[in-house]
Amino acid sequence: MNKAKIGTLLIIAAVLLLTGGTVHHSQLAHDSAAVNQDEFTEEAPQLEKRERAAKLERYVMLQNAFEAENAKFEAMPAQTVHQIEESMEQGRKVKEIGRELGLLEREVDPDYPRRELESRLKGAKAVIADGQKLLLHYKKRNDPQYEAFLQLNAYKSERLAQLEKEAEEQSKEIPQLLKELEELMN
């Protein structure tokens, strides 16, 4: 995509963000077709660099828009019905920008997979800790599920420790560790 197209898209996105509008699917399809047409005329590595630069620019722009809209949202009073409705609408706008920002972050942040793995490992630890509390509940009530749940929780705890060790040692790729963690916790 050439600089003029990127500039035009950034201007359109900025105007839409400032006015609260959204890009229609037809515009996205048109822009996508323009990108596909450019792929045949430019070398792939140059195109990838340009696309990455455009995504980084969009990411920074969305980050700034998110911070501005969120600050506006947090400063809004919510005492009357009208103020509550305005606040809810502003909250929807902040949520939409945040969702788009999160999706774009996956593409532009090279450290995202590692942070995602760390976050999921932390969440799995919390689930297993809650399982320990449930075990105490089952034991107090002499529940027949106690033994089965005790074995399952012990297995998950051991396997999670093993996954953490593999992540720390970097003995497996992050996507593989994420897949194994998801299988363990489901």
The predicted structure's pLDDT at residue 143: 85
- CA angle 77-61-50, nearest 5°? 165
Name which of 70, 167, 186 is nearest 114 in CA terms: 167
Q: Which residue has the tokens 């606040």?
A: 87
Query: Please, what is the average pLDDT of the chain?
Result: 80
The predicted structure's pLDDT at residue 131: 87
The predicted structure's pLDDT at residue 18: 47
The predicted structure's pLDDT at residue 74: 92
Can you tell me the distance from the alpha carbon of 164 to that of 170, in angstroms, rounded to the nearest whole number? 10
Residues 50-54, mean pLDDT to the nearest whole number:
87
The predicted structure's pLDDT at residue 11: 54
Residues 140-150, mean pLDDT to the nearest whole number:
87
The predicted structure's pLDDT at residue 21: 43
**Alpha carbon of residue 15 to chain centroid:** 24
Q: pLDDT (tens digit, 9 = 90+) per residue, 54-74?
A: 888 999 999 999 999 999 999
The predicted structure's pLDDT at residue 23: 41
Confidence of residue 27 (pLDDT cuts 50, 70, 90): very low
Percent of the chain that is helix, strand, coil (3-state, to 5) = 85, 0, 15
Can you tell me the distance from the alpha carbon of 124 to that of 32, in angstroms, rounded to the nearest whole number? 39
Which of helix, strand or coil describes residue 142? coil
CB 106 within 8 A of CB 57: no
Other C-beta atoms closer than 10 Å to the C-beta of 179 total 12
Confidence of residue 13 (pLDDT cuts 50, 70, 90): low
Residues 127-154, mean pLDDT to the nearest whole number:
88
Can you tell me the distance from the alpha carbon of 52 to that of 44, in angstroms, rounded to the nearest whole number? 12
Confidence of residue 26 (pLDDT cuts 50, 70, 90): very low
**pLDDT above 90 (res 124):** yes
